[in-house]
Structure 1
Amino acid sequence: MSAPDAVTMDDAERDEFLGSGGVGVLSLGSGDGGTDDPPHSVPVSYGYDERETTFYFRLAVGGDSRKPPLDDRAVTFVSYDTVDGRWHSVVASGSLERTTDDDISTETLAGLDRVGIPLVDIFGRPTADVQFKFYRLVPDSLTGRKESSPDV
């Protein structure tokens, strides 16, 4: 049995797949320049602003969070799912930016109005007890792939 073929999604297909938000996996590099440490990967919810091609994240910080420092951290974000029985995935890479930085706060407010970040409870305690901060990712690289139709 051979593996299914993959094709590139165009921008409209990618934006439709991402919608205004969903869930995926955010991987943060170790930041120390070494290659021995694996990235820190966590499931996250996201908002996606197709107008600005920007992702927004509500990330748990402080307390018992095991994430490395987030400001200007190189990251890769992956969202994937099965649509009509075929796999789809989007991979975005770049650096996280704090949404409270003066130079991006106004455009961030507009972007946050256009997205819907689901609140996913993965913390084992009430989300009201978890400290969150908002970050955004304006990707340096953004690719979408999907399983091809049998007739392609």
Structure 2
Amino acid sequence: MNADERAAFLGTGGTGVLSVSTDDPAPHSRPVSYGYDATDGVFYFRLALGSDRERADLAGRTVSFVTYDHTDAGWRSAIATGPLEETTEESIAIETLQGLERTHIPLIDVFGTPPKEVSFGFYRLVPTDLTTRKEAKTEI
């Protein structure tokens, strides 16, 4: 996809899967909602957290984020990798506020608990690698 197609596909937000490496054989993967700032090429996440330790464990960790869609035009996907940054850090707070103004992170209730009762942390991903693909139409 070119830059315009990528921006149109990612929009200002949607859903995907965020994976964090672990000591276990399999990564820790969870469905998440995201916001995307096409101006700066940054992803924003509102992640449900169970404890302060869990929050500390995420900051600085390299993650992989995947989003996918299938339409009449065919399938599209994006894979972004890089370190998660906690948005409360002073060094990125102003950039984050400006970027969040250009995004929309859907609020999705997948917890069985009302979202207002869930503890959330806000993170951003400035991808070190962003790969997009689309279905190639071939004539038979």
Q: Would you say same fold, with TM above 0.5?
A: yes
Q: In the alignment, residue 22 of structure 1 is paired with which amino acid? A: G
- The alpha carbon displacement at 1:106 in A equals 0.3
- The residue type equivalent to 2:61 in the other structure is R
| Inter-partner Cα distance in structure 2 for 1:67 and 1:41 | 16
Q: Hey, what's the Cα distance between the residues in 2 that align with 1:67 and 1:12? A: 34
2:112 alignment partner in structure 1: 124
RMSD in angstroms over aligned alpha carbons? 1.8
Partners of 2:89 and 2:50 lie apart in 1 by 19
State how far apart, in whole Å, the 1-side matches of 2:73 and 2:65 are: 23
In the alignment of these two chains, the number of paired residues is 138
Rg bigger for which structure?
A: 1
The residue type paired with residue 11 of structure 1 is A
Identity %: 54
Mapped partners of 1:150, 1:16: distance in 2: 23
What secondary structure is seen at the aligned counterpart in 2 of 1:119?
coil
Structure 2 gap segments, 5+ residues each = none
> Are residues 1:59 and 2:47 paired?
yes
Any residues of structure 2 matched to 1:60-99 within 5 Å, and which? 60-62=48-50, 69-99=57-87
Work out whether 1:23 is the aligned partner of 2:15: yes
Q: Residue in 2 aligned with 1:43?
A: 31
1:90-146 deviations in whole A, cap 9, x for unaligned? Answer: 000001000110110001000000000000111011111100010000000001001
Structure 1 residue identity aligned to 2:112: G
Structure 2: distance between partners of 1:101 and 1:16: 30
Report how far residue 85 of structure 1 moved: 4.7
C-alpha contact (below 8 Å) 2:55/2:121 kept by paired residues: no
2 CA distance for matches of 1:143 and 1:82?
Answer: 17
Q: Look up the match of 2:122.
A: 134
CA offsets, 1:13-72, max 9 Å, x none?
Answer: 111000000000000011x4xxx5210000000000000000000000125xx8982110
Matched, 1:102 2:90: yes
